[in-house]
Amino acid sequence: MIGCSVAYHLAHAGWTDVVVLERDRLTSGTTWHAAGLMTCFGSTSETSTAIRLYSRDLYARLEEETGQATGFKPVGLIEAAADEARLEEYRRVAAFQRHLGLEVHEISPREMSDLFPWARTDDLLAGFHVPGDGRVNPVDLTTALAKGARQLGVRVVEGVAVTDVRVDRGRVTGVTTTQGDVECEYVVNCAGMWARELGARNGLVIPNQAAEHYYLITDTIEGLDPDAPVFEDPASYGYYREEGGGMMVGLFEPVAAPWRVEGVPADFSFGTIPPDWDRMGPFLEKAMARVPVTLEAGVRTFFCGPESFTPDLAPAVGEAPGIRNYFVAAGMNSVGVLSAGGLGRVLAAWITTGRPDVDVTGFDVDRFRPWQADDAYRAARTTEILGTVYAAHTPGKQLRSARGTLLSPVHDRLVEQGGYLREVSGWEGADWFAGRGVAPTAEPTWGHAPWFGSWEAEHRAVREGVGLMDMSFMAKLAVRGPDAASVLDRVSAGDVTAAAETITYTQWLDEGGRIEADLTVTKLADDDFLVVASDTAHGHVLAWLGRAVGDADVEVEDVTADYAQLNLQGPRSRDVLAGLTDADLSTEVFGFRTARWIDVAGVRVLCARITYLGELGYELYVPAADGLKVYDALQDAGAAYDLRPVGLKALASLRLEKGYRDFGHDIDNTDCPLEVGLGFALALDKPGGFVGREAVLERRAAHAAAGGMGQRLVQVRLLDPEPLLHHAEVVYRDGVAVGYVRAASYGWTLGSAVGLAMVSGQGDPVTPDWLSAGTWEVDVAGTRHAAEVSLRPMYDPTSARVRA
């Protein structure tokens, strides 16, 4: 279905010289046994919601266009909230998705029973009704997409398997098939559960893994209406809909079973998997108990078939790193049917225009790292990740499988000090510290938690004294060679070729002037640079830089694991560091944005005077073998200044009080640096320009002509100290929804929740006067709370403390 949708949308974009190659027959892999749900509810991702809304609209009109039925029936969806955590989550989701155009209503248990009388609802708290959602026939829908593509000239060829993608000098030239070679300029790997194996032949990491997926269909149930809504109760692991006069009961069990970790058989078509009754029995009983009539009716079909899942439950989409024009659209995580239409449109736009037109920072295939393709990793993670499809997404929940893959050089100290560990792109990072000798515990919650006291103390230590943070997980790339300066200066929007020992905070932009990376480039010498980016952007930065280097005389070395990164931050950080080095740390000699090799506790380290927390501070890049030595020395020297170990919760609260951006969270590939407040980082007049400069200049001129920008990223703070912001809360100005919170935390210095939100002027320029003239509120789970907004950082707006 994904492949046919990509071809259909390419053809509608005018690219009709397209061939779809299917190894057997269309739908023979996973599509034929898909449950056919077309539901939009449940996501706090703007991209995911837009993809689903587009898919639903496409499926509703595809039959008229092609003459081929799709089986789309907008019978509606009811999502059950069985506990307080899910009710809070769904109220937040509903408010967000209403803002994006989805019609969704909270309904009572009695109203749920009226709409779906077969379910027991007396123990449910509420339901969320989406009238426009429904169901499709996956086989018919795939046929309709293929027919629509054929009508525009696309060729769909069945019974031909692709065995390899041909590449020359880093660019696609064709494919090898069981029936000969096909020359082409672009390839899209839509091979579903075979995508990993096909990609691996060209060195690509697409770590999707097949797993058992179950549903049953009962015998005919008298009175069951074919137009009855789809009913979902994630707490009971089940979804329910009419099928052939009986009831389909589908399952997303909390502990799953990976299938064929070593590889899916090439000849597996329209196949099933022998069901594991012993394993599935308890989950099935719980699901069927929600709709008691299913326990009384006979079972017509008990089905187990494969679905494939990625390690983070997000699809693998986009241009493959290292190979131009090799695109991937795989890893649908059991939502391929409801995603196919929208993802086909996104891929077609990306291919035909050269860049995506939606935020893909969480989907881009270049986010995956090589170790995620290991059999043991995929087997362990898939066991857990399928269960998260129907799990409550309460803040603080984290994955427990396949942990400990990457450990910081100072990992032992994090554990000894009671660090509450969480996964950070495969690394183990401390969220907060319970204290030496104390075992940290935390229960997921939407509210204030007992461990908030530790978080607050760490936050205040950085604001008022000094804190030590391990951020060894940050991506670190050594870029060297005769052409290093010219390549980096061309790809960077800032001027990175100034004096040696200088750090430049900069963005990398695409040709349209949109942000592709947000990072620092440190010039150590004329031919020696260090690029530091966030852990989540690691793969993307490597891929983007690799494309920029091309044939230039540049060596890019990933030195992430070679150096511990120890961040000493706070107004007393200079005092602590000065006790361990002979280097002159005075502002006159070692000013803000200086980076210099110095000796610290007898170890040669790269000391960078820079901060992501809004205070005087230093980032120390220490050879991994000496990481513990320097960490211990910093702690010993800091004892006189009440130094505290600081975790990642404080990182979030400190940086959001200061309004510092985080690519992939509050800024993304759809953003212009001007609109997100990063115009100060652009060197628009530097000789030679930079990628995206002309587009930025055009946009700046358009803003000037309009009297300002139509949308801006602003800081938002609630006036009430009690409610918490997390992500996707809708922002109102004078009662009108104008945007939503992209990232948020509690601001211990500011005294309430704080975040960054993109807001639209609704036709007016977003200026300080426009902001101050409005009355601002934020919707938190259906309740609006008074707020203040600002274009300038609410904490230390002049950065006087940073430069002290």
Distance CA 648, CA 442 (A): 15
The pLDDT, as a whole number, for residue 277 is 85
| Dihedral sign, Cα of residue 339, residue 87, residue 662, residue 403 | negative
Nearest to residue 383, comparing CAs of 472, 287, 257? 257
What local confidence, expressed as pLDDT, does residue 694 receive? 98
- Residues 504, 690: Cα–Cα separation, whole Å: 15
Query: How many beta carbons lie within 10 A of that of residue 435, not counting itself?
Result: 14
What is the rounded distance in angstroms from the CA atom of residue 712 to the CA atom of residue 542? Answer: 29
* Cα–Cα distances in angstroms (integers) from residue 271 to residues 27, 163, 677, in the given order: 11, 21, 53
Q: Does domain 707-804 have CATH number 2.40.30.110?
A: yes
Q: What is the rounded CA–CA span in Å between residue 363 and residue 351?
A: 16
CB atoms within 10 A of CB 184: 16
Calpha distance 749→654 (Å, rounded): 8
Domain ranges across the chain: 2-367, 707-804
For residues 451 and 442, what is the distance between their CA atoms, to the nearest angstrom? 7
Q: What is the pLDDT of residues 179-220, one digit of tens each?
A: 999 999 999 999 999 999 999 999 999 999 999 999 999 999
Read off the tokens for 325.
Answer: 């024009």
What pLDDT, on a 0 to 100 scale, did the predictor assign at position 313?
Answer: 97
Q: Within 10 Å of residue 279's Cβ, how many Cβ atoms?
A: 15
The matching CATH number, chosen from 3.40.250.10, 3.40.50.300, 1.10.3720.10, 3.50.50.60, for 2-367 is: 3.50.50.60
Continuous H helices in 374-482 = 375-385, 411-416, 452-464
Helix (H) or strand (E) holding 421: strand 419-424
Q: What is the pLDDT of residue 24?
A: 97
Query: Against a cut of 0.95, is the pTM above it?
Result: yes
Our CA dihedral for 604, 606, 610, 611, rounded to 10 degrees, sits at -70
At 504, give phi and psi (nearest 5°). -115, 120
Radius of gyration of the chain (CA): 27
| Beta carbons within 10 angstroms of residue 460's beta carbon | 17
> Which residue positions in the chain have pLDDT lower than 50?
none
Give the model's pLDDT for residue 257: 97
pLDDT tens digits, 644-665 = 999 999 999 999 999 999 999 9
